[in-house]
Amino acid sequence: MLAKRIIPCLDVKDGRTVKGTNFVQLHDAGDPVELGYEYSQQGADELVFLDITASHEGRKTFGDMVERVARNLNIPFTVGGGIHELSDVERLLTAGADKVSINSAALRHPELIDEITKRYGSQVCVVAIDAQETNGDWTCYVNGGRIPTDRSLFEWAHEAQERGAGEILFTSMNHDGVKNGFANEALCHLSSALSIPVIASGGAGTMEHFRDTFTQGHSSAALAASVFHYGEIRIPDLKHYLTKEGICVRL
Amino acid sequence: MKIAVLQYNAGNTYSVVNALCRLGVNPVLTDDIELLGDADKVIVPGQGAASQAMQYLRDHRLDQLLVTLRQPVLGICIGQQLFCQHSDEGNVDCLQLIDAPVHKFVPTHPDQKIPHMGWNSLHNVQGPLFDGIHEGDFVYFVHSYFVPQCPYTIATCDYIHPFSAALQKDNFYATQFHPEKSGKVGERILKNFLDL
């Protein structure tokens, strides 16, 4: 049976993970490679590395990091952040990333999705969508949730799929950081409207939240950052809990 | 031991090279007919579309070479599909090493997403490639097309319906999943291939 996926997300700035961690056993919890490896040993199914570096030099550092991750990790990983054009995608895939996640660039230039998937296949192209709900309408945002667009979540997600996206990574800005559960109603709507997998993001606080996004949100995967980085939820515990709740995960 | 990884337009070749390096072997990534022919073992990795991959193989006369190889050959993902008769993906004739077709998944329920992406369990594993691998072990899949069960199936997986997770005919081995991305289970399978 296809397992639901648990995906820790690591924010990386100038080659270092940003959020603090309490992985005391690690030499250097700020090293994305070491932290990623530790997550893979704990049973993470995939990893996402998000480059939040602003500078050009930092971008080069990120590419070097991707190469080191690829050498050391035996599970799939996605990289995102700072991807503007096809050459950025090529650079990251050549460095060894399995998938790239595109967000603002895809909203600004939707044809980028076609270009990526024609060149590398749908499976490498994750379209990340940050959206906020107001009065029942979900609006897509760009620039890390700072600038609203005139696109609605469901309409844009459908277009991304039609253009060849392999997965949708949906972050609810209403739920992100609140630790009160994922946006399961919107996720359920999204998942039933799309034929490609949907990754839930934003709102993980407890193990029950993961269960609910799989059972109520029909998500194929759940992504979280701080609950894992701060050790509030350990992946082995989470997976045993989900198994007990009748959800298929890889143990 | 000389291990050659076929370099062609089907992407993802670096992952296989990295995985082999982690196992302590130093493979050569090449599309050179002589190097491939001389290798002790050959790996045909891949992602992407069967029709484009076949076109590349034909353009570089690699199709003629691959079918004559006598050393152990491992096809991964699109590599498995290329070993078959014909793929519905781009309606293309493949290498025809293994008498089996390649069809597209047709979902029967909204929860059945295409591509089949993620970790799924192996069943009915048999033969030396799966030495030490257990019924129900999870491996990583990413694909929209599948090979049905056939006399050459050496492992099955169930998504929408049972299909061939791995095939073997003579010296040709193939996995639909990505052993190079399948954690410790995948490492064991790659090591088993190297030990053949």
Q: Is B130 in contact with B154 (CB distance < 8 Å)?
A: yes
A207-216 pLDDT, tens per residue?
999 999 999 9
Q: Does residue A88 register a pLDDT over 80? A: yes
Rounded mean pLDDT of A221-238?
A: 94
pLDDT (0 to 100) of residue B29? 93
- Which ranges of chain B have pLDDT less than 70? 10-12
Give the residue-averaged pLDDT of A170-183: 95
Q: pTM value?
A: 0.95
State residue A192 phi and psi, 5-degree precision: -80, -25
pLDDT of residue B71: 98
Banded model confidence at residue A26, pLDDT cuts 50, 70, 90: low
Nearest alpha-carbon partner for B120 in A70, A5, A240: A5
Please report which confidence band the pLDDT of residue A17 belongs to, taking 50, 70 and 90 as the band edges. Answer: confident
C-alpha to C-alpha distance for B3 and B16, rounded to whole angstroms:
11
- At CA B164, angle to CA B189 and CA A215, rounded to 5? 90
Say if CB A222 and CB A196 are below 8 A apart: no
Whether the predicted pLDDT of A19 surpasses 70 = no
- Chain A closest CA to B49's CA: distance in Å? 7
- For residues A53 and B115, give the distance between their C-alpha atoms in angstroms, rounded to a whole number: 32
How far apart are alpha carbons A35 and B75 in whole angstroms?
32
Interface A-B: count of C-beta contacts within 8 A: 94
pLDDT of residue A29: 67
Q: Do A218 and A191 meet the contact criterion of CB atoms below 8 Å apart? A: yes
Q: Is the pLDDT of residue A23 over 60?
A: no
Cβ contacts of B180 on chain A, cutoff 8 Å: 74
Q: Could you tell me what percent of chain A has a pLDDT over 90?
A: 77
pLDDT tens track for A32-53: 999 999 999 999 999 999 998 7
Q: Is the pLDDT of residue A27 over 70?
A: no
Q: Which pLDDT score is estimated for A25? A: 59
What pLDDT was estimated at residue A231? Answer: 87
The answer to whether A1 contacts B144, with C-beta atoms less than 8 Å apart, is no
DSSP H or E stretch at residue A185: helix A184-193
**Residues of B with CB below 8 A from A124's CB?**
11, 47
CB A157 within 8 A of CB A140: no
Compute the distance between CA of residue A219 and CA of residue A215 in angstroms, rounded to an integer. Answer: 8
